[in-house]
Amino acid sequence: MRYGIVGAGKGALAIIWAFENIEGYEVAVICDVDPDAPAMLYAKKNEIPTTSDLAVACRDHDIDIVFELTGSARVAEQVRNHLQPNQELVPASLAKVIWDLIDAHDRATRERSKSILHRLVDVSKKISAVMEPITRSERSIAKLLSQSNIITINASIEAARLGHTGRAFAVIIGRLRELTQQVSTSLDLIGQSSETVQGLIENVREIERDVDTQLEG
């Protein structure tokens, strides 16, 4: 659906922004006698055709709908006189209703997005709180493993010095070393998982900041 706009004030910008994310709608031309009107400047910047001639706007740009946004009865009558058989006029009063409806929908969508995002952030904070003691325990276990490795090495040396008498002791030390290695491997996996979770939590926080910035803008 191609549409044209007559009257390039701030209301025209509102209509353009309201329809730009709706599939199937394309602004085809903007018409105003003031080349420095807000929507005229926007159109030039975004390569949207512009004109100051109502007849040209209606005749030469293959439009289906004309939004008359000046609110002037005289201008509205002029637009009607230039409409092509397949074109419909949307007066300023109806255009405002359309904009209000779209704006209300956008506000509701933003509020829902904020609500969902805040719940997600709340969950991430709870996960972070749960992960904190796990991280502390991980550091404690790593310290104990380091101490255990030192003890195991010293015990192995002493078992070797005892010779035949120390063989049974050496078997126990070997099993303790295997257990320590298993715990160390498990600890590495826990550490990797903790880093992944913390990374995901930070990603959620970054998304929250980005979304808040976009919604406020």
For the chain, the domains span 2-90, 108-216
Using 50 as the pLDDT threshold, list the residues of the chain that sit under it.
none
What the block records as the tokens of 186 is 């498990």
Measured on CA atoms in the order 159, 162, 166, 171, is the torsion positive or negative?
positive
Residues across the chain = 217
17 and 11 Cβ atoms separated by less than 8 Å = no
Q: What pLDDT, on the 0 to 100 scale, is given for residue 203?
A: 67
Q: What pLDDT, on the 0 to 100 scale, is given for residue 6?
A: 93
39 and 13 Cβ atoms separated by less than 8 Å = yes
Q: What pLDDT, on the 0 to 100 scale, is given for residue 29?
A: 94
Q: What pLDDT, on the 0 to 100 scale, is given for residue 146?
A: 67
> What fold does the segment set 2-90 form as a domain?
Rossmann fold (3.40.50)
Q: What pLDDT, on the 0 to 100 scale, is given for residue 19?
A: 82
Q: What is the CA radius of gyration of the chain?
A: 35
Query: CA-to-CA distance for 7 and 69, rounded, in angstroms?
Result: 5
Q: What pLDDT, on the 0 to 100 scale, is given for residue 156?
A: 64
Q: How far is CA 152 from CA 115, 117, 164, in A?
A: 55, 50, 18
What the block records as the tokens of 59 is 């005749």
Q: How far is CA 215 from CA 81, 102, 112, 204, 208, in A?
A: 42, 15, 11, 16, 10
